[in-house]
């Protein structure tokens, strides 16, 4: 894959683009969203770029999806008292802008009836 075809997340994983990293292990990286939609807005990203969205990930590697959810829970415990929204956007019409599967962990005083906007 040419450098200009790699996603921003692939470049963050490679250390080519800085990020405010809050979690990093052999399978996942998590960092603060640069355009937060909630007091706590973290992105959890598998280090493989094989899957474009959550449905591809769920069909091909449910164990990796379970690991992603586990990391999301751990981060929510650490950053927002364990209460959070876990959001996956699938497709451009849903708001997905980076086609490397990732989860949004939103927390910190969200109100019912909102999608996370402050």
Catalytic residue set = 102
Give the number of other CB atoms < 10 A from CB of residue 105: 25
The owner of tokens 């894959």 is 1
In degrees and rounded to multiples of 5, residue 45 shows phi and psi of -130, 125
Give the number of other CB atoms < 10 A from CB of residue 52: 16
């Amino acid at each position: 894959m040419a450098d200009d075809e790699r996603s921003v997340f692939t470049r963050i994983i490679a250390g080519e683009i800085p990020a405010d990293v809050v979690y990093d292990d052999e399978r996942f990286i998590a960092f603060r969203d640069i355009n937060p939609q909630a007091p706590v807005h973290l992105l959890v990203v598998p280090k493989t770029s094989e899957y474009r969205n959550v449905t591809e990930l769920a069909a091909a590697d449910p164990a990796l999806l379970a690991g992603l959810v586990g990391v999301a829970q751990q981060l929510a415990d650490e950053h927002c008292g364990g209460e959070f929204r876990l959001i996956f956007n699938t497709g451009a019409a849903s708001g997905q802008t980076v086609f490397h599967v990732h989860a949004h962990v939103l927390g910190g005083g969200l109100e019912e009836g909102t999608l996370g906007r402050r």
